[in-house]
Each structure stands twice: as C-alpha cells, then as structure tokens.
Structure 1
Amino acid sequence: MDDDPQFCLRWNDHQSTLVAVFDRLLENEALVDCTLAAEGKCLNAHRVVLSACSPYFELLLSKHYDKHPILILQDVKFQELKAMMDYMYRGEVSISSDQLGALLKAAKSLQIKGLWDNRKGDVESSVHVKPKSPQPVIPLPIVQGLTMEQRRRDDSREGSQSPGLIKKKKNKAEK
C-alpha cells in the first residue's frame, strides 16, 4: 500500500530537554567520562558532548581508548576552557569584551562549532537557521509533548516506520 500515510512523531521540547539534561549532568558530574585540564585545574566532561561540538575533540577522543582520559590543554587558560564548556553544554556563554579575543582564539584552536567555522577559517557570524522544508506538511494535534505530521510515503525518512499503535487509534477514530 503506497498510499498508506506515514506519521512523523516530533518531540516538541527535544532540544531544550537535551540541553537541560546535559547541563544537569555536567553540574552533578554524573556519567562524566573524560577530564579537561588547563593551568593545573580540571573540568569533567562527557565525550559525546565534546565530540558533537568539536571535530578536534571528536578525532582525539575517537582514538583515545582509555576509560576516562585526561586531556591537558597547554595553550588554553582555565577561564577560557570553562567558558567554552558552558558554551558547548548550554549553547551560550556570557563573557566580557576583554575576554572575547582570547576565547575566540582558544575556540579556533579546539575547533568549537559555532565559535569557529572550519570551512571559512574564522569566527561564525551568527546562529544558523535551518531552512524550511519546501514540501508542506499537514500538522496534526499535539499529544503529550509530541507533534505529529502526516507525510506522503515518498517524503518519509529512510528507516522510519509508521507507529502502528497511533495508526490503529487514528483508524478507530475515523470509524
């Protein structure tokens, strides 16, 4: 049945929830699996967050097989490291204008996404906005934090499956 509608389940607060969870995990030092050190001071971190935010860390940590590696950053001040960690975990950081240059220089050396764009070799100008899909989707009602969108079969994501339970409920509701 090629006309069988597909449903896209969207967690409306997915990004904000993940940011809040990562922030809480960092604050509680829960599930940390690596340590960054600068100027003799240490910060615990999560490899997955560092790797997601920096191709430098991704390459370095993917080749590091220790259970809990300690990465010593020679040319980075602890204050800059702390600010970059706040940026990576929270998506923003507040710093004074006199710290900006040093932070951006350190971010460039560690290839921190959003603070340095390795395609251009310089600081990114602003937040990138994802373009809207050229094909319209039909919004369906919000159900407990999810947004469902009906899509044509040819618009479905590879490997996605139509949730059977939702489909059965929809069919019952139409009867």
Structure 2
Amino acid sequence: MTCVTLEVGPTDVQGETRVRRSVHSATELVSSVRDDIKTLYDIIRYSARVRPNLQAMGYRKVIKMIEEEKEVTKMVGGEPVKEKKTWKYFKLSSYNWLSYRDVEVITLSIGSGLIKLGLQPKAKITVFGATSANWLLVAHGAFSQSMTIVTVYDTLGEEGLLHSMNEAE
C-alpha cells in the first residue's frame, strides 16, 4: 500500500500523535497541490478531465420506511416509567454512483440554471434540505457561478428557516 502522508514536526508532545502531512507537501504547507487548481470548481473540472469515468459521488435511495413500536423504560422523578416509542428505520438501495464527468455536467447545468433564473455572481442562495448528493450538487452548481450558499437544514423547523434566511450575510 502506498503511503500518502508522512509525519512532520516535533516528536515529543506528550499525549499527542505527530502531525501528518501529504507527501505532496512534505516540506511546507501549500494552499493548492497544483497551480491550476484554486477552487472547488477547479477540482471538479480537473477531476472530470483526468478521471472522467471513475466513481465520484455515491448515494442510496430510500426503498422503504420501517416503523417499529417499542416499549422503553425511562426514569421520571426517580421512578421507572414505561412508554411506547415509534422507531423509524430506512431500508436503503445499493449504492448508485455518479462519475466525475456526471458530477461536472450536473454541476454546470445547475449553475447555468441559476444564471437563467436571474441570479448573478456573489448572489446568496438558500439550500433547504437534508444533506445529500443532490444538496452537494446544488452547492457545487452555485460555486461554479461564484455564488454563496446559505445552508438551512430541514431539522430547524419553520422558525429556524426564517431566522437563517433573514440573518445570512
């Protein structure tokens, strides 16, 4: 197996392991491993050019939501109290994969769509939803057009959503 990192820095910091650094930047910290890669957009373009058919992004589909009711015991005021709780589980598909080329095409299509909707570079867009492959593709689409994303997670509820949208700078 090829080693891709190496240890650097002091060896005697008690209770800590040594710092590890990429073999590509063994002697100094670098902000980019290649002169032509400065942004996430550059990484997507480079990866699609160099390894277009390799697996880049995996996702699984929810096939079925399984609900089970279980009786649990919890302590209330020092006394055990039994209550029924509904547990939810997902049955998921096998992994589906997007190639680096797929990711590039979808990312650029989303970015073009944002421009077509009238958004401009430096615009802020709110991405509302659970983190997923689609969420990530929308984020990269925005980045491809120099837009900023404001993440609002679906767990925040309506009040959290409104607060995040109003407070984003």
TM range (shorter): under 0.3
Per the normalisation by structure 2, the TM-score is 0.25
> Which entry has the higher C-alpha Rg, 1 or 2?
2
Which protein has greater RCO, CA pairs closer than 8 Å, 6+ apart?
1
**Which is richer in helix?**
1
